[in-house]
Amino acid sequence: MTTHLKSALTVSARTHQGLTRSENQDASYTNPSAGFIAVADGLGGHQSGKLCAELTTGFFEAAVETEPPSSIEDLFQLIKQCNHALIQHQKDNAEVNGMRTTLVCGQITDDHQLLYGWAGDSRVYIFDAEDGLVQLSRDHTLRESKLDADLPPADGDDHILTKSLGGNQVFEPVCGSVQLRPNHIIVLSTDGLTGLVQDASIEAILSAHSSNLDLAANALIDSALKAGGADNVTVVLAQIAPH
């Protein structure tokens, strides 16, 4: 049975196929009462990316309904279990072998910590008026790996992922935590937003609509479409309701 968060959580989720893609391979799952949110982006060009994203969010839905993660270690193990489940699904269904997806997820605890984890280039941010927009995740891309090694990145390196779920790979998830302030807005998004809209513009939209998450989420989707809508775009916003 789901453990309910003591503080009310306001959540808004929006997705759009974009203006050039033939289907939406993004998926999201939100459980405000349990304090859990997740976004997955099935990788275009890979077989059954849409299915992989949906299986991923479905895995977390079932797990959170049973028992939400209460620590970074819980979340770490849950993401590993999801990856193993995706690999097993491929072993049982050869026609979808090689399916992959990104993941970004967050668990808000009763003491108002955000536990977060990710794989790939879907991102988690927090925003408030004091510190603005702060990116918590770091893209798992060839570009970032080259920068770590003091090598010059090449054009297109930001689109080559070094971590994802599925694809018959075993990986170590990356997780972290941050203490939330009362007005923090948590932002989960696919690269359909962040690949087209600069962080400064995302911050300005959140600042303008900080009192209404639905308006903010709609405006973020619209900004990606106005920038060309070259990819599926999904945004999940969450905020602990003020007392």
Q: DSSP of 84-125, one letter per residue?
A: HHHHHHHHH-GGGTT-EE-EEEEEE-TT-EEEEEEESS-EEE
Q: Measured between alpha carbons, how far is residue 105 from residues 41, 44, 116, 206 in Å?
A: 12, 20, 6, 20
1 lies in some domain: no
Q: Quick check: 2 pLDDT over 70?
A: no
Residues 173-185 have pLDDT tens digits of: 899 999 999 899 9
Dist. CA 40–CA 49, nearest whole Å:
10
Q: In terms of pLDDT, which residue wins out, 83 or 46? A: 83
Q: Are 211 and 193 in contact (CB under 8 A)?
A: no
2 lies in some domain: no
Q: In terms of pLDDT, which residue wins out, 101 or 146? A: 101
13 lies in some domain: yes
86 lies in some domain: yes
**Torsion of Cα atoms, 77 then 109 then 161 then 187, to 10°:** 160
Q: Quick check: 1 pLDDT over 70?
A: no
Domain that holds residue 135: 9-240
Q: In terms of pLDDT, which residue wins out, 82 or 144? A: 82
In the block, which residue shows the tokens 């405000």?
32
131: tokens are 């510190």
Q: In terms of pLDDT, which residue wins out, 59 or 7? A: 59
Please give the tally of structural domains in the chain: 1
Full-model pTM: 0.93
4 lies in some domain: no
Residues 107-150 have pLDDT tens digits of: 999 999 999 999 999 999 999 999 999 999 999 876 766 766 77
Lowest mean pLDDT among 10-19, 99-108, 128-137, 152-161: 152-161
| Domain at 134, CATH number | 3.60.40.10
**Rg from Cα positions in the chain:** 17
